[in-house]
């Protein structure tokens, strides 16, 4: 089961990071895929929002840090969609960050 808080109950909150979590490499967005769309996302009530983006059989995770001076958007590398979905599940569980 995915972690949910009392917020809106629609989008999940990510779990606390686990001590032995895998670190993803975050980089500036690069338009590898011409058309992508978010297919899953975390709750917008937190300062950091994650989105699972998919297109052309590939997926990646977008990380947006909301700040008073604007937003910083970073993205992971892309994987085959099934692998990206597994990494998304690990992100929600705190096993990946």
- Give the closest residue to 97 by CA, choosing from 33, 38, 17, 29: 17
pTM score: 0.87
**pLDDT greater than 90 at residue 23:** yes
Task: List the chain domain ranges.
Answer: 1-97
**pLDDT greater than 70 at residue 17:** yes
* Mean pLDDT to the nearest integer, 39-48: 93
**pLDDT greater than 50 at residue 63:** yes
**pLDDT greater than 60 at residue 50:** yes
**pLDDT greater than 80 at residue 18:** yes
């Amino acid at each position: 089961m995915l972690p949910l808080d009392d917020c809106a109950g629609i989008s999940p909150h990510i779990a606390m990071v686990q001590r032995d979590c895998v670190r993803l490499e975050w980089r500036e967005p690069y338009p590898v895929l011409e058309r992508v769309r978010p297919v899953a996302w975390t709750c917008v009530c937190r300062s950091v929002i994650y989105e699972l983006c998919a297109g052309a059989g590939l997926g990646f995770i977008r990380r947006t840090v909301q700040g008073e001076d604007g937003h910083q958007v970073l993205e992971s590398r892309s994987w085959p969609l099934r692998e990206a979905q597994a990494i998304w599940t690990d992100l929600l569980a705190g096993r990946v960050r």
